A and B are shown apart, each in its own frame.
Chain A
Amino acid sequence: MRSYIIKRLIYSVIIAWGILTITFILLRIGPTSPVDRYLLNIAAKGQDIESVKQAIEARYGLDKPIAEQYLSYMGNLLQGKWGWSFSASMPVLDLIGSHWIYSFQLILLSTIFAILLGVSLGMLSAVKQNTKVDYATSIFSFIGISIPGFWLGLMLILVFGVQLGWFKTYYDTSYPIWSLQNLKQLILPVLALGIGELAAYVRYTRSAMLDNLRKEFVTTARAKGLPERTVIGKHVLRNAVLPLVTIIMFDLGSIVFGGAYLTEIVFGIPGLGQVSFNAIFADDYAVVVAVTLIGTFLVLLINLSTDLIYTYLDPRIRYD
C-alpha cells in the first residue's frame, strides 16, 4: 500500500512538471512581453521605449533564450521562489496568498450545497421511482445539466439583483470572509456554480440507488421485516455511496478549473480564477504557471485520495 502511494505521488509530480513546462513554454513564446504594461506608462511620459524595455528585460532575465529562462525559473521554484508578478507588482506567493480564500470558499460552499441537495433528491427520486416526484426531479436534473453556469449567473443577477434588488450586482470585498454579509452575497454565485453539479449528483445517486434496490440482499432485508427506513438507509445507500465518491471527487477537480473560473468572472469575485485570467492577458507568466501548478497538484491529490478513500470504503479493492 505504501509503495503504491509513493509510486502515485512520484507519478503526480512528473505530470505536474509536464504541465508546468507546457504552460511556461506556451506563455514565453507568445507575442507579448510581461513588461508591455510598464511600457505604456513610459510611452506616456515620452521616454524612449526600446532602451527602457531592454533594460527591464535584462534586469529580469527576459532577454535570454527560453531554455535558459526555463532553467532559472525551475531552479528558483525548487528553492521555493515562485517569482515576481509584473502586473500586480508583488511576489507571486503573496498574490496567491491574498486571493485563494475567495476561490476556496466559493468551491467549498457550492460543493456542500450540491452534495447535500443532490444526493437527497436523487435518493427521493429513486425510492419514488416512476412517480410524479421522480419525473419532476428528472426534468429538473436535465435542465440543471444543460443550463450554462455563467448564463445562469447572469440571469440570477438580472432577476434578483437588477429587477428585485435583493442582492448587490457587484461583489463587495470589504466584508470579512466568513461574515454574514459576505455569505449572503455568495448565495447567487453558489447557486450558479452548484446547480450543474447538483443536477449531475441527482442523476448519479438515482441510478446508483436503483442499481442496488434490485439486488437480492435488499429483498432479503425486506423479507426479514426490517423497516423500509433501515433498508434504504443502511443497505441501499451505503452501497450506492461507493461509485458516488469517485464521481463527486472527480467533479471537484473539474470545478476547480472550469466552473469556478467563469463564476468568479461573472460575479467579479477576486479569486484565483480571476487572478489567473487577468494574468494571461498581462502575459504575467509567473502567476499563470503558479496557479496552473497549484491547481494541477490539487486535482492530482484529489484523484489519489479518491483511490485511497475507495479502498477504505470497499475493502475488496486493493492496489498493489
Chain B
Amino acid sequence: MTEATKAPRRISSGFNSRLAGYYWERLKKNRLSLVGLGFIALLALLGIFGPLFAQDPQHTDFNVKNLPPLGFSIQESIYDIKTDSFTTTTLPGRPDHPLGTDSKGRDMLAMLISGSRISLLVGLLATGIAIFLGTLIGVLAAYAGGWVDNVLMRFTDIMMTFPFFLLLVLIVFILGPSLTIIVAVIGLTGWTGAARLIRSEALSLRTRDFITASKALGASDSRVIFNHMIPNVISLVIIMATLSIPGVIMAEAALSFIGMGDPMSTSWGTILNTGQHTMDTAWWVAVEPGIMLFLTVLSFNFLGDGLRDAFDPHSII
C-alpha cells in the first residue's frame, strides 16, 4: 500500500483521532454524562480489582448472619431455654462487614463487587454481540436491497414481535442457567432494534454522492460496506450500544432475580432474589444491590444522552 491509496481512506473514515477529540470536547460540556462515565469507570475498577481485596462472596458463616450495614443496628431476640424468656440484644454493624451480611452470613460488600463484575461483563459482551449483528444485518439489508433486504427485515419483524423476556426465560430454562448461555441468548435476540435503525440510516447513506463516487471508482462491495458505510454509522452504533447496555443489565438482573441466574456466580439479581425473602429481618440485602443496579443504569443513560448530544451536529452545546 502506498501513501496515495491510504489517504482517501482516512478521510472517509468517520472516526479519526481529531474527530474523536472534537466529540470528547463536546461530551465534556455535559456534566451529567461525565458523572455517568466516572461511575462506570469506578464500577469497572471495582469489578476488575475488587475481588483481589474483598472476601469470598460465596463464603457462608452463620455466626455473622443478618448483620446490618455499618452505622445501622437491629434488635435481635433470642430465646433462652434456661430462663424460659427472650433476651433482646442490639446488634450493630461491624467494620469487617461494612455493608452487612445476608441470611447465610455472606459479606454484602464482596457480593456487590462480584455483582458489578457480572453485570458489566454481561452488559458489555451481550450488547457487543447484539450491536455487531444489528449493524451487519442493517447495513447488509440496506446495501443489498431487493429480496435480501426483504428476507432480513421480515426475519427482524418476527424477532421483534417475539416476547423477549419470555423467550429468554424459555431458552435459559431449556439450556440451563449459565452466564455463557445468558450472554449468548441476550446477544442473539437483542439485535433487532439496532438492525432497523442502522438500516434506515444506511439507506439514506446509500444514495449519497461519496458512495456513488466510490462505486464509480470501482470499489468492491465489501470495500464500500466496510470503509464507507460502517464508519459513517459508527456514531449511531456507539449511541445505540451505550443506551442498550442498561436494558441488558436489567434483563440479566431480572433473570437472576426470578431464580434463573448462573448458580455458580453472584450477581445483583441473585442477591435480590435472596433479599426479597428476608425483607422483614434484613432489609439491606434487598436494598443495596438494587441501588447499585439503579446507579449503573442511570450512569449509562446519562452517558448515552450526552453522547447523543455530542454526536448530533444540530445540537448546540
Instruction: Give the B-binding residues of A (Cβ under 8 A).
Output: 15-16, 18-19, 22-23, 26-27, 29-31, 142-143, 145-148, 150-151, 154-155, 157-158, 162, 256-258, 261-262, 265-266, 276-277, 280-281, 288, 291-292, 295-296, 299-300
Contact = CB atoms under 8 A, between A and B. Distances in A.
B170 A261 contact: no
Given A23-B170, A30-B173, A155-B286, 6 more contacts: A29-B174, A157-B279, A257-B164, A262-B254, A276-B166, A280-B170
Given A148-B254, A158-B279, A258 B164 contact: yes
B169 A295 contact: no
A158 B283 contact: yes
Contacts of B164: 257-258
Contacts of A15: 157-158, 161
A229 to B, nearest CB: 30
Q: Report the 9 A-B pairs with minimum CB-CB distance, sorted nearest first.
A: A257-B163, A151-B290, A146-B298, A146-B297, A30-B174, A18-B158, A158-B279, A258-B165, A148-B250
Interface of B: 157-158, 161-166, 169-171, 173-174, 246, 250, 253-254, 257-258, 272, 275-276, 279-280, 283, 286-287, 290, 293-294, 297-298, 301-302
A147 B162 contact: no
A16 B165 CA distance: 17
Contacts of A257: 163-166
11 contacts: A15-B161, A26-B171, A31-B174, A148-B253, A150-B254, A258-B165, A261-B165, A266-B276, A276-B166, A292-B166, A296-B161
A296 B164 CA distance: 11
Contacts, number: 99
A27 B167 CA distance: 11
Contact of A26 (B165, B170, B275, B298): B170
Contacts of B166: 257, 261, 276, 280, 288, 291-292, 295
Which among B158, B163, B165, B280 has the greatest number of chain A C-beta atoms within 10 A? B163
Give the interface SS of chain A, mostly helix, strand, loop or mixed: helix
Given A142-B301, A265-B258, A277-B258, A22 B162 contact: yes
Contacts of B169: 277, 280
B161 A151 contact: no
* Residue of B171, B174, B253, B272 most packed against chain A (CB within 10 A): B174
Contacts of B290: 148, 151, 154-155
A161 B302 CA distance: 32
A150 B257 contact: yes
Contacts of A162: 279-280, 283
Contacts of B272: 150-151, 154
A145 to B, nearest CB: 6
A140 B257 CA distance: 25
A142 B293 CA distance: 14
A275 B297 CA distance: 29
B208 to A, nearest CB: 25
Contacts of A31: 174
A148 B253 CA distance: 9
Given A146-B294, A158-B287, A292-B166, A19 B161 contact: yes
A102 to B, nearest CB: 17
Contacts of A148: 250, 253-254, 290, 293-294, 297
B158 to A, nearest CB: 5
B35 to A, nearest CB: 11
A258 B258 CA distance: 13
B165 A281 contact: no
Contacts of A29: 174
Contact of A147 (B283, B286, B287, B294): B294
